[in-house]
Amino acid sequence: MKKFLAIALLILTSTLAHGAVVKDAAEVFKRWIMIQQIIPDCTFGNLDSSVNEQFVQDFRASYEMQLQTLNKQSTFLKALTGNCITSNGYQLTWPINNQFGTNLSTMYQLADNDIASLLNFFHSLGLFTPNDTKGTDGLVDQFNAATQLFFSGQNDVRKSELMSNLANRYVEWLFGSEFPTISQRMMVDSSKHQILRYLYAVIWQKLAGHGWKNWHQNSLTNLAQEAANGKTVVYIAGGSDIFQLIKNGVYNIINIDPQLPTQPAYYTNDWEYLLAGNIEDRIVFNLKDTKLVMVRKSLTRTGKQFQTTLSNKQTIVLDECEVEWDILNSDLQKVGNYTLKRRFCNQNDFNLKPNEVMLISFNELAYICMPLQWGGWGIDVASFAPDFKMYVKQLRNPMPRSSIINMHSATLLNAIDLGYIGLGSCIN
């Protein structure tokens, strides 16, 4: 690996334009590489075999660690554990009682393909009847802590994978084909609101709040296949998160990103280097099976400007620009192109050409589905083409137009009837 990098740098530096800079992709995208988790597709039906003594020890430790939060779900925990947890204390030992084991097995089986029955099962155990039914403070923590107990005995990485895949199934069910008959009715039926708050809590935390930085492996695999079929990925994203795409063989990318200067926590280390620099700047990718080089070919100012309010409440005006990078293979032959468009997305960006597919993060998807007056981006999702679909970083399956419209409708009903957290914005 080091040998290729040294040779590539030697070749490239001998042909560099004046002032051009060569950087290693491992350094340019270091932050993304360090913090991202690639989530594999998971099933739950086989988790019965992991219910053992280690499961009980971890369950007990997790319960004790979050005692104050989980005490507010005492009704649920008493029913779940077959009275091993009560208001008078708890006694969690191995082997577990039959009721506890049956409840765990039921959850695992239903989680794979019957979310409606899973929610009914949780309701029967009392998950949706917290002590304070009028307020929503703390429900996100309660619901996620209670759900994660089902995955006790797994290491932290595996727990994150399982919770993310569960959140995927919740998205598919909540905004899927049964939305008009089930989800929409739940939105306006106050007796069902706690169920929806539960779904929103898990979805938000695993796909936006904590999961904003992660990729689902299915998304990368599907995008790689689209690229192999000659498609360009139109990527609406903050932070220019392109490392995993390039690593997986996606070499033609149009990245629409305002590159706001107060968001370094969400951007790669050298986001300014991607945006502005010298013609012939290089980024060397020394990947395990592939060696690539990105070369900056142009930087064009469009003459337009856009205004934005930063996280520090300061309003600034930024210049729109477009930066073109060629992507070369180890023989320095062009295999693709990365275009960074510094601006906010607009309605026209969703009118895809036949050779384009769209990619977005779940966090940004939430803002596309949100009305402008409530902080959304002013995108009319109803005008999307009938066959429109959108790949989402954190989702195992692309979102079809129908699900996007359902998510938009849910956003309206959330503001009017449900009155709970939005699905956008992240916390770390």
Q: How far apart are alpha carbons 399 and 34 in whole angstroms?
A: 28
pLDDT at 262: 62
**pLDDT category of residue 271 using cuts at 50, 70 and 90:** confident
**pLDDT category of residue 10 using cuts at 50, 70 and 90:** very low
Average pLDDT rounded to a whole number, residues 126-155: 84
Strand partners, 334: 328
b or e along 315-330 (b: 16 or more beta carbons within 10 Å of the residue's beta carbon)?
Answer: eeebebbebebbbbee
Nearest-5° Cα angle at 306, 305 to 310: 135
Q: What is the pLDDT of residues 152-208, one digit of tens each?
A: 999 999 999 999 999 999 999 999 998 989 988 988 888 899 999 999 999 999 999
Percent of the chain past pLDDT 90, that is, above it, reads 67
**pLDDT category of residue 266 using cuts at 50, 70 and 90:** low
pLDDT at 17: 59
Q: What global pTM score does this model have? A: 0.92
pLDDT at 264: 55
pLDDT at 130: 58
**pLDDT category of residue 103 using cuts at 50, 70 and 90:** very high
What would you report as the CA-atom Rg of the chain, rounded to the nearest whole angstrom?
24
Across all residues in the chain, what is the average pLDDT?
A: 89
Burial of 3 (0-12, 13-18, 19+ CB in 10 A): exposed
Q: How far apart are alpha carbons 300 and 257 in whole angstroms?
A: 15
Q: Is the pLDDT of residue 383 over 50?
A: yes
Residue entry with tokens 């849910």: 410
